[in-house]
Amino acid sequence: MLRLEHVSFAVNGKYILEDINLTIEDNRFTVITGPNGGGKSTLAKLIMGIEKPTSGKIYFNGEDITDLTIDERAKRKIGYAFQQPPRFKGMSVRNLLTLAHGRALDEEHCCSYLTDVGLCSKDYLDRDVDSSLSGGEVKRIEIASILARDVELSIFDEPEAALSPQRQLTLLIQIYRCAKEGAQFFIVTHSPILLGIPDADIYCFDNGSIHLCEYEETESYQVTEMFINNRQMLLDKLLTE
Ligand SMILES: Nc1ncnc2c1ncn2[C@@H]1O[C@H](COP(=O)(O)OP(=O)(O)O)[C@@H](O)[C@H]1O
Ligand SMILES: [Mg+2]
């Protein structure tokens, strides 16, 4: 279980996050959405330990992890997929997945993690995770590496950036199944598909704070629904303004 208590984060005296209180129970997933620049990535980084809160406490499975490093949190089975993942020259996709898994990973399993994120595994296994891969490919490989890890809490920052709607549906099913087996997820997303995971706790950002909301109240749902159902009317209006 993850618990954030009165967590705030300020840079040069300016508050980006203020008094965030949040609990993710085992077998649950929390989805965070809201405006660009609202603080979603910052909140994900605080949970992973990439940034430290200005005040407040973070507990994982009852332990105060507020002052633990990224490594120490990783050892406690917290995994993080960056909005813009890092690249590793000289590290093959096969090695990255094996390293993520923490023990030998046979080719069949390596391939299945890549297939899960929509990559044709035989083309990628021996490629380096370097600048020769597109942003979307690196992102999908990173998602595969999180799936390969035996993590208790997975933090995904906008995974949809790399995934077609069909693949988002596949990820939704994977997340749902993993959560039913006890995993916890913290997903930052604008995707109307990922926001629609059954039984998710959806939080919306509002001026540095968060509040629970219904799927139909999210901007992603409302704008997508309005656009699909009234596309011509909406475009006529917007383009003549
Ligand atoms: N370390 C930092 N120093 C200064 N500003 C920061 C820092 N981290 C985040 N910010 C600012 O905080 C705001 C929220 O950023 P972010 O969490 O990336 O938003 P989101 O992911 O919701 O789009 C942005 O205005 C960003 O520039
Ligand atoms: Mg972000």
H or E stretch including 19?
Answer: strand 14-24
pLDDT for the residue numbered 101: 83
Q: Is the pTM of this model over 0.85?
A: yes
Q: Which numbered ligand comes closest to the C-alpha of 40?
A: 1
Smallest CA-to-CA distance from 163 within 151, 175, 181 is with 175
Burial of 154: CB neighbours in 10 Å, binned 0-12, 13-18, 19+: buried
Cα 34 to averaged position of ligand 2 atoms, centre (Å): 10
CB 187 within 8 A of CB 194: yes
Compute CA 24 distance to the chain's CA centroid, rounded to the nearest angstrom.
14
Residue the block writes with tokens 């992973």: 48
Distance CA 210, CA 182 (A): 25
Res. 139: pLDDT tops 80: yes
Smallest CA-to-CA distance from 82 within 129, 139, 17, 152 is with 139
Residue the block writes with tokens 């044709």: 120
Average pLDDT over residues 28-52: 92
Q: What is the DSSP letter of 160?
A: G
Distance CA 92, CA 65 (A): 32
> Of 27-31, 37-41, 128-132, which gets the smallest average pLDDT?
27-31
The string of DSSP codes covering 161-225 is GG--HHHHHHHHHHHHHHHHTT-EEEEE---TTGGG-TT-EEEEEETTEEEEE-GGGSHHHHHHH
Query: For the chain, what percent of residues have pLDDT higher than 70?
Result: 100
Using pLDDT thresholds of 50, 70 and 90, give the confidence band for residue 192.
very high
Ligand 1 nearest-atom number relative to CA 40: 22
Average pLDDT over residues 39-46: 94
Question: Residue 202 forms beta bridges with which residues?
Answer: 31, 213
Residues with Cβ within 6 A of ligand 1?
Answer: 11, 16, 36-42
pLDDT for the residue numbered 186: 92
Mutate which of 32, 42, 209 for ligand 1 pocket (most atoms within 8 A of beta carbon): 42
Mutate which of 16, 189, 209 for ligand 1 pocket (most atoms within 8 A of beta carbon): 16
More confident residue, 239 or 88: 239
pLDDT tens for each residue of 103-134 = 888 889 899 989 888 888 888 999 999 889 98
Average pLDDT over residues 84-88: 79
Q: Which numbered ligand comes closest to the C-alpha of 82?
A: 2
CB 165 within 8 A of CB 141: no
